[in-house]
Structure 1
Amino acid sequence: MYYHFLSGLMVTISVFSVSVCLGTAVGLVVAAGTSANSAYLRSTAQAYVATIRGVPELLIILLAFFGGTAAISAIAGRYIEVNAFGSGVGALTIVFAGYAAEIFRGALMSIPKGQGEAALSLGLSRWQRWAFILLPQMVPLALPAYTNLCISLIKDTALVSIVGLSDVMRVAFIGAGTMRAPLPFYLAAAAIYLACTTVALVGFRLLNNRYQLPERSK
C-alpha cells in the first residue's frame, strides 16, 4: 500500500511540476497577447481565456485524451491511444495557462504605463522592456493570486485519474475497490493532498516575502 501511494505521489508531483512550468510560460504569452498592438492577437488571446474559464477542467482532460486518440488514430489509419500522462499534462497546462494569463494581465495593468513608455524612449527593445521593467514588477503583484492557482492545480491533478493515470487518486480508488475499504484509502489520499498543499503554501509564502514590493512592507 505504501509503495503504491509513493509511486502515485511521484506521478502527481510530476504532473503538477510539468503543468505549472508549461502553463506559466503559455500564460505569459497569452497575457502578452491580450495587450498586443494587433487586434487579431488580442482577440485570439481573449477568446482563449474566455473559453478556458467557461469549460470544466474534467471535460478538457477528456477531450484531450479521447479527442487526441481519435485524431491520431484517424491520421495513422489504425487505433492508437494517446499517452495518459501527456494528455493529462497537456489539458492541465491549457487550463492553468488560461487562468494564469488573467492573473498576469491584471498584474501588468497595475504597472503604470509610463514606465513602459519610458523604457521605449530609452531605446530598450520589447524583450528588454519585458525582462527588466515589466516582469520584475509583475511578479510580486501576481504572486498571491498565482499561489492560489497553483494550490488549485495540485488538487486538479486528481482529475487525471479519470484517463487511467496512476496518480494518488487512482491508487486510492483501486485500493478502495480491491480491499473493499474505501475510508482508509481515501483518507490516506486526503492526507497526501493536504501535505502537498501545505508544503506548497509554505514555499509560496517564503517567495511572497522575498519578492514583496517595498511599498507593501510594513
Structure 2
Amino acid sequence: MTNIMHILGFQQGGWGAALLAASSVTLALSVLGFILGAALGATAAAGRLSPRRVPAWLAHVYGTVFRGVPDLLTIYLLYYGGSIALTQIGTLFGSDGFVGLPTFATGVLAIGIISGAYQGEVYRGAYQAVDRGQFEACKALGLSRYQSLRLVIVPQLMRHALPGLGNVWQLVLKDSALISVIGLVELMRQAQIGAGSTREPFIFYITAAALYFVIAVVTASVFRFSEARAWRGMVHA
C-alpha cells in the first residue's frame, strides 16, 4: 500500500499530478470533439432530411463511411494523410523533413468526424420524432422557417435527442484513448508511460480505469439532469 501511495502521490517522483493532467487532456479532447461532432452531425442530419438528392446522398455516404470504418483507421488516415499533405506543402516553400499535424487538433478532428456520423443519426431520428402537429402550428402562426426551428422544433428535437447523445458521448470518451496512438499524452498514454517507467502496469491501468469511470459517471449525470430538465412538466412516454 505504501508503494502504491508513493507511486500515485503528488510528491517528487509521484505520478498523481501527471495522471490528473492527462485526465484533463482526455476531458478537453472529448468535449471539443463532441462539440465538433454536434456541428457535423446537425449538418449531416439536415442533409439526410433534405428533399434534394445530392445533400441527402452526401450525408448518407458520410454517415455510412465513418460508422463503418474502424475508428483507429480514421485516426491514422487523418494524422498521416494530413502530415503528408503538410510535408508536401512545406517542400514547396523550401522546408525539409517531415511536418506532423498537431496531435491534439488531429484528435479533436478525428473524434468530431467519427462522433458526427453517429450524432447525425440521433438528430435525424429526434427530428422525425417531433409531432407533425408542431410543424402545422408553426405555419398557422405565420412563423418563418428559422423562427419555427429556433423557437419550436429544435427545443423539442433536443428532448428526444438527449438520450442518444448521452450514448454517443460515452463512445467519444472511450475513443479518446485511441488518440494515444499518434503520440498525444492523454490519460491512456500517460498510464502506458507510467507503467513502462515503474514496471507497475497493474497500478497504472487500474488507476486509469478508475479515472475514466469517474469522468463517465460525472458526465453521464449531467446528461441525465439535462434530460430530466428538458422533460420537466411534460408527459414522457
Which category of TM-score, normalised to the shorter sequence, fits these structures?
over 0.9
Alignment partner of 1:200 out of 196, 208, 219: 219
The 2-side partners of 1:163 and 1:127 are apart by 41
Of 163-172 and 204-213, the range deviating more from structure 2: 204-213
Determine the structure 2 residue equivalent to 1:215.
Answer: 235
Segments of 5+ residues of structure 2 without an aligned counterpart are: 1-14
- Cα RMSD after superposing both structures: 1.5
Q: Residues 16 and 62 of structure 1: is their aligned pair in 2 closer, same or farther, counting only changes over 3 Å? A: same
Q: Structure 2-normalised TM-score? A: 0.87
Q: Identity of counterpart residues, as a percentage?
A: 35
Determine the structure 2 residue equivalent to 1:123.
Answer: 142
How is 1:68-217 mapped onto 2 (pairs within 5 angstroms)? 68-77=82-91, 78=96, 79-120=98-139, 122-212=141-231, 214-216=234-236
Amino acid at match of 1:39: R
The 2-side partners of 1:70 and 1:104 are apart by 34
Determine the structure 1 residue equivalent to 2:4.
Answer: none
Of 25-34 and 98-107, the range deviating more from structure 2: 25-34
1:131-181 Cα deviation digits (max 9, x unpaired): 112111111111111111111211111111111101000000011111111
Q: Structure 1-normalised TM-score? A: 0.94
Determine the structure 2 residue equivalent to 1:26.
Answer: 40
1:28-74 Cα deviation digits (max 9, x unpaired): 11111111132111111111111111111111111111111011111
Cα shift at 1:197:
0.3
1:13-34 Cα deviation digits (max 9, x unpaired): 1101111111112211111111
SS of 2:57's equivalent in the other structure is helix
List structure 1 runs of 4+ shifted beyond 3 angstroms. 120-123
Amino acid at match of 1:115: Q
Amino acid at match of 1:194: F
Segments of 5+ residues of structure 1 without an aligned counterpart are: none
Amino acid at match of 2:70: P
Cα shift at 1:118:
4.0
**May I ask how many residue pairs the two structures share in their alignment?**
217
